[in-house]
Amino acid sequence: MTFIRWTPLLLGLIFSVHLHAQIIDRSIEEIKEESMLRVKRGSYPLGGLNVQDVQEALSYITSREPDDWARGFGKVADRYMAEARTAPTAAAAGAAYQRAWRLYYFGQFPVPNSPGKLASYNHAIDAYVRYLGTQDLPTEVVKIPFEGQFITGYLRFPKEAQGPVPMVLAINGLDSRKETVAESFSEILKHGVGFLAIDGPGTGQAPIKVSNKADRMFSVALDYLAQHPRVDKSRIQVFGVSFGAHWSTKLAITEKSRILGAVAQSPAVDATFSEKVITSKVNGNKEYLFDYIPATMYVYEGANTVADLYRLIPEMSLKKQGLLGKPTAPMLVVAGVKDTQTPIEDAELLLRSGDIPKDAWINPRGGHLGREATGWIDPVIFSKVIIPWQLRLIESSRQK
């Protein structure tokens, strides 16, 4: 009898051969059904989208092909772009551009890994920038020099702000973008706090892919904020959602002396990067709408096969990097006990590590990011948990 030792490499090679099969985590009909359920609830990743728009776009899609998906949502988005160009008022144009942006963005979901999805992503950026141009609160599209390229971000200050402004460096996740993070953080402006939203490594317009050294990109972004004349460099916070929470956690350690605090929403710390969790995701993840593994492969530097993920992902562990347990800036850890993408063990490990107490908001019924299907959806967690914590941290720093 011949025995085979099932090593990560061998498993990866087998999964690579059958990559197309494992990508089909949901059939196109299942994706359509699940998308409609989520858009009606206003839940991830369809928050802000119109039910009728999604229904129409899905009616044009007949296959699992990425470009077919992009075409379906692009057809509806194109109509709103045309409507915006002939709109009688700036407000009407802005509403149409915003609607087009959300549709184009979802047309490239989860990542622009085909020609059609890449075109949809570029259209999404164009629509979003046009939408910003209709708003009365100026947003600057900044280009921060970085290793011969640029970190592109949205810089926004509160209206009529007096003196140096507290700021948040906001980092998106695997399939969100700086545009979606910027929309969320617009709420903090009325409290006298500004933000710089940038794409995390491997996503959006980021100049580099994911690696265990990619956090150097954020150090350059912090340099930029610290040197900006309108920024209060003693009150810069970092926020990260999903994969972005890995980066905000790491920055809470490596940039402790330069940041006031950090929010990590479902932080990937150690267990997330284990062989066991990688394999569970390769076998399918229903919490994610579709294509979790292709999206992950897209963002990692040097990931061309699933076997590459087994090699690269473990290097991201903060424990393996010797960082876990080191002093951190003040932190808020947000998580859900039922998270199938970032195990709750990582949040618990982070809370037990370091040298100072951390604040936590843990939803015992919550999945990824602490969200639920109804009730604790993304905008609610953001407005009732994350922003209040950031404001309290700023206020307490003023009282010292």
pLDDT score recorded for residue 347: 98
Decide if 211 contacts 278 (C-beta within 8 A): no
Provide the H-helix boundaries in the chain: 8-17, 19-23, 28-41, 51-59, 66-85, 90-107, 115-132, 178-185, 216-227, 243-254, 275-282, 292-299, 306-312, 344-351, 378-381, 387-398
Alpha-carbon span 22 to 66, nearest angstrom: 15
Q: Which of 370, 369, 325 is nearest to 351 (CA)?
A: 325
The residue length of the chain stands at 400
* Cα→Cα distances 245→11, 227, 297, 366, Å: 28, 24, 18, 17
Alpha-carbon span 263 to 360, nearest angstrom: 10
User: If you average pLDDT over residues 1-14, what whole number do you get?
Assistant: 36
Alpha-carbon span 68 to 247, nearest angstrom: 33
Burial class (CB in 10 A: 0-12, 13-18, 19+), 326: middle
Token pair belonging to 166: 């507290």
Task: Calculate the average pLDDT of the chain.
Answer: 92
pTM of the model: 0.92
Can you list the pairs that 183-190 forms with residues at least 24 positions away whose Cβ atoms lie under 8 Å? 183/48, 184/378, 184/379, 184/382, 185/156, 185/239, 186/137, 186/156, 187/382, 187/383, 187/387, 188/387, 188/390, 188/391, 189/137, 189/156, 189/157, 189/158, 189/159, 190/158
Residue 317: how many other CB atoms lie within 10 Å: 21
Q: Where residue 64 falls among pLDDT bands split at 50, 70, 90?
A: very high
Lateral strand order in the sheet of 231-241: 140-146, 149-156, 194-198, 165-171, 231-241, 261-265, 331-336, 359-363
Q: Where residue 12 falls among pLDDT bands split at 50, 70, 90?
A: very low
Instruction: Check pLDDT > 80 for residue 2.
Output: no
Burial class (CB in 10 A: 0-12, 13-18, 19+), 185: buried
pLDDT score recorded for residue 72: 98
Domains contained in the chain, CATH given: 26-136 (1.20.1440), 138-400 (3.40.50.1820)
Instruction: Check pLDDT > 50 for residue 249.
Output: yes
> pLDDT over 90 for what percent of the chain?
86
Q: Which tens digits make up the pLDDT trace of 292-328?
A: 999 999 999 999 999 999 999 999 999 999 999 999 9
> pLDDT over 70 for what percent of the chain?
94
User: If you average pLDDT over residues 129-151, what whole number do you get?
Assistant: 95
Q: Which tens digits make up the pLDDT trace of 321-356?
A: 999 999 999 999 999 999 999 999 999 999 999 889
